[in-house]
Amino acid sequence: MMFSITRKSVLPGFGLTFGYTVFYLSLIVLIPLSALIFRTAGMTGAEFIETVTSPRVMASYRVTFGSALIAASVNAVFGTLLAWVLVRYRFPGRHIIDALVDLPFALPTAVIGIALATVYSANGWIGSLLEPWGLKVAYTPAGIVIAMIIISLPFVVRTLQPVIEDIETETEEAAVCLGANRWQTFRYVLLPTLFPSILTGFALAFARSVGEYGSVIFIAGNMPMVSEITSLLIITKLEQFNYSGATAIASVMLAASFVLLLTINLLQRWSRRYID
């Protein structure tokens, strides 16, 4: 006589909640993405390759991914410094600065773009100071990088803050007592612990910058082959009723997003295993 053993969940209602989760994800995520893929599948292979590798599209890839790489690299350095200062030091206005880090989450990205275009234009507060030196930020690729730095900074800071809080100061004091200078303490004691989180924050910032649209279009200038991001090119093709071209480019960005998400998940798993 055989008996079946079933494991009961501590939390009841798994079947109902799991069904709702699958339905919700299908309705919000999977069905729209499937429509994008099916629309792209209507193109021949030659048409798809020609569309996604045209000179204007390739230039938009270079602008988008190149600017995102620069912005994420800058935030990996200065975001780490900012997180360290906010966690390790006590000074007047620290809580205000800590709250300002989350401001890009709260503000509409269009507001950030308009503010940057106003400040960095030739007549703006900062742009007027840079103009005599021949430096132009607004309506150039440099403006794209600055916009991406601002909107992706919180991802690095918030990723690193919990890790820095968990580092005991006694570890650094022990390194100093053993004769290590500040650079050696950072290189051999702090950096190995922080590096996985820095890498994760970098990947998150890069992914966020690649998908940015609202803040960039107001300061980029949107010149084809110069300062046109891929998201804007997709919108342009939709306005021209070139739906096949728009979905083809969007499918490439979708594939890039999946790769980035997979990379982020692997980095987070590796960082947890590394810290443990």
Distance between CA 224 and CA 228 in Å, rounded? 5
CATH fold, domain 60-229, is MetI-like fold (1.10.3720)
Distance between CA 6 and CA 241 in Å, rounded? 56
Average pLDDT, the chain: 84
Q: What is the pLDDT of residues 239-270, one digit of tens each?
A: 888 888 888 898 888 888 888 878 877 876 77
Structure confidence at residue 168 (pLDDT): 80
Is the confidence at residue 1, as pLDDT, over 60?
Answer: no
Contact status, residue 56 vs residue 225, Cβ threshold 8 Å: yes
Is the confidence at residue 175, as pLDDT, over 50?
Answer: yes
Task: State the burial class of residue 33 (Cβ atoms within 10 Å of its Cβ: 0-12, 13-18, 19+).
Answer: middle
Distance between CA 152 and CA 208 in Å, rounded? 6
What does the block give as tokens for 62?
Answer: 């270079």
Structure confidence at residue 274 (pLDDT): 58
Structure confidence at residue 6 (pLDDT): 52
Distance between CA 256 and CA 51 in Å, rounded? 17
Q: Average pLDDT, stretch 20-42?
A: 76
Distance between CA 58 and CA 152 in Å, rounded? 24
Distance between CA 197 and CA 191 in Å, rounded? 10
C-alpha triplet 163, 66, 101: angle, nearest 5°: 35
Is the confidence at residue 111, as pLDDT, over 70?
Answer: yes
The DSSP secondary structure of 228-249, one letter per residue, reads --HHHHHHHHHHTT-HHHHHHH
Q: pTM (2 decimals)? A: 0.83
Is the confidence at residue 271, as pLDDT, over 70?
Answer: no
Contact status, residue 113 vs residue 190, Cβ threshold 8 Å: no
Contact status, residue 250 vs residue 234, Cβ threshold 8 Å: yes
Is the confidence at residue 60, as pLDDT, over 60?
Answer: yes
- Residues with Cβ < 8 Å from 223, sequence gap 6 or more? 139
C-alpha triplet 137, 138, 142: angle, nearest 5°: 45
Distance between CA 158 and CA 163 in Å, rounded? 9
